[in-house]
Amino acid sequence: MRPAVAALLVAVPLAAAADDLPPPVAAAIAEVEAACGSAPATLDPFVIDRQDVNGDRVPDFILNVGGLRCGDEEVSQCGLMGCPKIVLASSKNGFVVVLDIYAHDLRFRALNGRPAASANDEGWNCGSVRGGPGRTTFLWDGTRFACAE
């Protein structure tokens, strides 16, 4: 595992996972937790990746939300489109959500000198339906990742 990646790979109570995170990141986790109502919420696995995605040399947060467990009941957040991926990047005002999508995987790289994200998904391409699996590219526009296709 890369040193830049912090991963919690066991079922983790969301409130405990959010204790040491910046408030916007903790708020994104609380929003996932709200789906359980009053039942205790855990994500199995709940993975938080730390990686600079917007090119400012500050590690950002990528929340990979898989199966949600509400008490003893598993409630999958994943489907044909993949699993929720929530990206919070550093800004002048702290961390903000810059990409919130469903995808099977999400990768970050530079494209023509600009930060870019590439998502492997099924049947969706920048708001239009496609007839099968493919990759969608998002380019950093200075405040968020915008669909490039």
pLDDT digits (tens, 9 = 90+) for 63-90: 887 767 788 877 767 777 788 889 999 9
Contact 85, 101 (CB under 8 A): yes
Chain mean position to CA 54: 14
In this structure, what DSSP letter does residue 17 have?
H
Q: Which of 15-24, 46-55, 66-75 has the lowest mean pLDDT?
A: 15-24
Contact 27, 46 (CB under 8 A): no
Given a cut of 80, whether residue 10 has pLDDT beyond it is: no
Residues 106-131: what's their mean pLDDT?
82
Rounded to two decimals, what is the model's pTM? Answer: 0.76
